[in-house]
Amino acid sequence: MQFQKEVEILAPREKVWQFIWDVDRFIACVPGCKDAKTVEEGKRYSATMTEKVGPFKVEFPTTIEILEREELTRIKAQASGADNKIGSRMKIDLDVHLRESDNKTILSFTAGVDVLGKLAALGHGIIKRKADQVLDEFAQAVKKKLEGEA
Amino acid sequence: MLRRFRLEEPQSVAETSELLGRFGDSAKIYAGGTELLLAMKEGLVQYERLINVKRLGLNQISAENGTVKIGALCTHYELELSPAIQQRLPSLLKLEHNVANVRVRQAGTIGGNLCFAEPHADPGTLLMALGAKMVSETGSAKREIAAEDFFIDAYETSLTAEEVLTEIRVPAPGANARSAYLKFGYLERPSVGVALAFNLNGASVSDVRIAVGCAGPAPKRVAEAEALLDGKSKDEATRNLAQAGTVAGRAAEAISDLHGAQDYKEHIVGVLLKRAFQAAVS
Amino acid sequence: MATALSRHSDGQTIPVSFTLNGRLQEIDVEPHELLLDVVRDRLGLTGAKRSCDVQVCGACTLLVDGRPVSACTTLAFEVRGRSVLTIEGLADNGTLHPLQQAFIEHGGFQCGFCTPGMLLASKALLDENPNPSEEELKHFMHGNLCRCTGYKKIIESIMAAARKMRAK
């Protein structure tokens, strides 16, 4: 599943870039994400992603690997996790871009999301919708956090 | 094989509600099991306790003072057999007669169907068009929820964690009332469902209610489509059907999946709406 | 197949007294046991088959109080106080039920895997509606799937049995 999101943030690019690397606050913007930790600064992070669709709950202990980094411009990362209780795996390929426009920063990202295992039984449509919701909320939360402190 | 769980068999709604409150997410209401047991077998959910609600006596059907009252624990089969449903709610009768297969109709309950809120289900869509209200109770409180406020999202209703759905109340349609529910699907569950209800006074169409289900995450009423038919003559309403169908299709929030692409489902909504109207006026 | 022991069930068992093929049975079951497993593995009646395991194919059909259920998706304790009929109980002391006879005479089965379910479901149909139209028959039997016959012979068999049973 491919998603593309873009959000306009009323904050300078440097601030947005710094915010992304402030792992705890950044991860807190992902709905249902908790226990963010730095495993290797700039390279590897971990967190627990939880989601709920009605009675169906998942908890993915997730590892986030930073694959590429272009200062102030771009981050390429991969997040993966498995919920053994429900026999499912999740993988997200994330490509984040920052660019300046007037006095705003445009944060855009593409996310390739794969959900494998039993959870897929819920139906591609439901998962897609949920993933879309989560990414939307995430983008909005980042914007709010950054603008709130401007 | 299922994982082990403890069976609780409360004797009252209050007791049921108390159990739900006490055990939270580790307990689940168990009625016919036609949805729940499947999810448990798949390993998608796990519970330490199942709360059997079939001993609460909630499987009565009655018609009084212009309202048909359906106990939440009535099986689809019991609805098929009910004289009250046969006489007062023929479109619901037809729907219940066509739910899944004969074995699911034997075990599955209407309340369980509504509470599990599987997107690909029939009853919710028609009940919405019929102006039904869901009655939910805890030990100390009771409230009515309009069908359009009952479904929040896929697998999600507006019931709180301790509430038990006890009854579905459907206003008995008057002499001029017409309604129809049509569904389409080629997999085991329906892919698209459209419900239509209105009053036909002579050649005048009024009090139109349109609901679409199965295609999107939850059934919903489509006011914009209703407006194209409401208060119109039969002929004018017929002329507006195509546009109403397009509007309703878009409103369905159809999801592209194995049941069909989004635009395909939207198209089918339009087809079913047209056919439902024609069936209802004839 | 062993299941994980959960401390929460604390060994709860439910006494189930029921009529099985006309005879009284008394067993204790755990809440999570499925009717199909109890019938096949504990009671040795293997006519009912586990096929789709999601209640859509009908190969596990049993009659409970004369009505068809998916044994694969029925908890065993639910038959307490009820009567259960399996395919093994359809013949009467060696005399085949008219439906069984008709399926033989009219070629209503090939591999036979769906057949126990077909016979029980059609018995429930004819007990409820001794003179079904083909439409009514198809509607009732809609949930019993067959991969071999293409259904034509099954329909003919049931209709033939219905005629015989009405003539009695």
pLDDT, average across residues C138-149: 97
Which range is most confident: A45-49, B253-257, C10-14, C24-28?
A: C24-28
Provide the pLDDT for residue B102: 98
Provide the pLDDT for residue B103: 98
Place of tokens 């989601």: A51
Chains that touch B (3 or more CB pairs under 8 A): A, C
Neighbours of A48 (CB within 10 A): 16
Q: How far apart are CA C99 and CA C130, in angstroms?
A: 12
Number of residues in chain A: 150
- Summarised one tens digit per residue, pLDDT across range B155-210 is 999 999 999 999 999 999 999 999 999 999 988 899 999 999 999 999 999 999 99
Q: Decide if B153 touches A, using CB distance below 8 A.
A: yes
Provide the pLDDT for residue A24: 79
Provide the pLDDT for residue A149: 65
| Residue B107 main-chain phi, psi, to 5 deg | -100, -35
Instruction: List the single best residue of B3, B44, B150, B155 to mutate versus A (max A Cβ within 10 A).
Output: B44
Q: Give the CA angle between residues C67, C68, C71 to the nearest 5°.
A: 130
- Measured between CA atoms, how close is C164 to chain B, in angstroms? 24
- Measured between CA atoms, how close is B251 to chain C, in angstroms? 31
Provide the pLDDT for residue C8: 53
Nearest to B7 among C6, C14, C142 (CB): C14
- Measured between CA atoms, how close is B258 to chain C, in angstroms? 17
Counting Cβ atoms within 10 Å, is residue B29 exposed (0-12), middle (13-18) or buried (19+)?
A: buried
Nearest to B151 by CA among B132, B177, B137: B132
Nearest to A126 among B25, B42, B154 (CB): B154
Q: How far is residue A115 CA from its own chain's centroid? A: 15
Q: Which residues pair with A6 in a beta bridge?
A: A108
Residue of B nearest to C62 (CA): B103
CB-CB neighbors (< 8 A) of C140 in chain B = 102
Q: How far apart are CA B90 and CA B273, in angstroms?
A: 18
Q: How far apart are CA B203 and CA B233, in angstroms?
A: 6
Torsion of CA C67, C69, C74, C76, to 10 degrees: 50
Which residues are within 8 A (CB) of B183 and not within 5 positions of it... i.e. 6 or more apart?
B98, B122, B190, B191, B192, B193, B194, B214, B272
pLDDT, average across residues A52-69: 92
| Residue B21 main-chain phi, psi, to 5 deg | -65, -40
pLDDT, average across residues A75-83: 94
Provide the pLDDT for residue C1: 41
- The pLDDT-based confidence of A150 (bands split at 50, 70, 90) is very low
CA atoms within 13 A of residue B153's CA, in its CB half-sphere:
11
Intra-chain end-to-end CA distance of chain B, in Å: 50
Q: Please give, one letter per residue, the 3-state secondary structure of chain A.
A: CEEEEEEEECCCHHHHHHHHHCHHHHHCCCCCEEEEEEEECCCEEEEEEEEEECCEEEEEEEEEEEEEEECCCEEEEEEEEEECCCCEEEEEEEEEEEEEECCEEEEEEEEEEEEEEHHHHHCHHHHHHHHHHHHHHHHHHHHHHHHHCC
Nearest to B275 by CA among B253, B247, B244, B231: B244
Average pLDDT taken over every residue of chain B: 96
Chains that touch A (3 or more CB pairs under 8 A): B
Q: Decide if B235 touches A, using CB distance below 8 A.
A: no
Chains that touch C (3 or more CB pairs under 8 A): B
Q: Decide if B41 touches C, using CB distance below 8 A.
A: yes
ipTM: 0.95
- Measured between CA atoms, how close is B255 to chain A, in angstroms? 5
- Measured between CA atoms, how close is A51 to chain B, in angstroms? 13
pLDDT: is C1 or C55 the higher one? C55
% of chain B surpassing 70 pLDDT: 100
CB-CB neighbors (< 8 A) of B258 in chain A = 123-124
Nearest to C62 by CA among C92, C41, C83, C31: C83
Q: Are B217 and B153 in contact (CB under 8 A)?
A: yes
- Measured between CA atoms, how close is C115 to chain B, in angstroms? 16
pLDDT, average across residues C103-122: 98
- Summarised one tens digit per residue, pLDDT across range B232-282 is 999 999 999 999 999 999 999 998 888 999 999 999 999 999 999 999 998
| CATH entry, A2-148, from 3.30.530.20, 3.10.20.30, 3.40.50.11060, 1.10.3210.10 | 3.30.530.20
Provide the pLDDT for residue B256: 85
Residue of B nearest to A88 (CA): B44
CB-CB neighbors (< 8 A) of B116 in chain C = none
- Summarised one tens digit per residue, pLDDT across range C59-89 is 999 999 999 999 999 999 999 999 999 999 9
Which domains are delineated in chain B? 6-51 (3.30.43), 61-171 (3.30.465.10), 177-281 (3.30.390.50)
CB-CB neighbors (< 8 A) of B3 in chain C = 3-4, 6, 32
**Statement: residue C94 has pLDDT above 70:** yes
**Statement: residue C2 has pLDDT above 60:** no
Place of tokens 């449903």: B85
Whether residues B119 and A121 touch (CB distance < 8 A) is answered with no
CB-CB neighbors (< 8 A) of C14 in chain B = 7
Whether residues C32 and B100 touch (CB distance < 8 A) is answered with no
Q: Locate B150 and state its tokens.
A: 């009952």
Q: How far apart are CA B71 and CA B163, in angstroms?
A: 15
Provide the pLDDT for residue B223: 97
Whether residues C142 and B102 touch (CB distance < 8 A) is answered with yes
Q: Which helix (H) or strand (E) holds C115?
A: helix C115-128
Residue of B nearest to C124 (CA): B102
CB-CB neighbors (< 8 A) of C141 in chain B = 102
**Statement: residue B116 has pLDDT above 90:** yes
Which residues are within 8 A (CB) of B123 and not within 5 positions of it... i.e. 6 or more apart?
B92, B95, B96, B99, B110, B113, B114
Whether residues B45 and A56 touch (CB distance < 8 A) is answered with yes
Nearest to B3 among C4, C37, C58 (CB): C4
Provide the pLDDT for residue C3: 46
Angle between helices C115-128 and C152-167 (to 10 degrees): 40
Provide the pLDDT for residue C9: 56
**Statement: residue C6 has pLDDT above 80:** no
pLDDT, average across residues C118-133: 98
Q: Locate B122 and state its tokens.
A: 């029939």
CA atoms within 13 A of residue A24's CA, in its CB half-sphere:
1
**Statement: residue C54 has pLDDT above 80:** yes
**Statement: residue C125 has pLDDT above 80:** yes
Q: Locate C38 and state its tokens.
A: 């109890």
Provide the pLDDT for residue C40: 98
Q: How far is residue A40 CA from its own chain's centroid? A: 18
pLDDT: is A6 or A26 the higher one? A6
- Summarised one tens digit per residue, pLDDT across range A83-141 is 988 889 999 999 999 999 888 999 999 999 999 988 887 777 888 888 899 999 999 99
Nearest to A53 among B46, B155, B256 (CB): B155
Which domains are delineated in chain C? 14-89 (3.10.20.30), 98-167 (1.10.150.120)
Residue of C nearest to B36 (CA): C73
Alpha helices in chain B (DSSP H): 13-23, 36-42, 76-81, 83-88, 90-97, 102-107, 110-116, 123-129, 147-150, 223-229, 234-251, 262-281
Chains C and A touch (3+ CB pairs under 8 A): no
Residue of C nearest to B55 (CA): C78
- Summarised one tens digit per residue, pLDDT across range B37-79 is 999 998 999 999 999 999 999 999 999 989 999 999 999 999 9
Whether residues A87 and B28 touch (CB distance < 8 A) is answered with no
Whether residues B103 and C143 touch (CB distance < 8 A) is answered with yes
Which residues are within 8 A (CB) of C65 and not within 5 positions of it... i.e. 6 or more apart?
C82, C83
Q: Which helix (H) or strand (E) holds C106?
A: helix C98-106
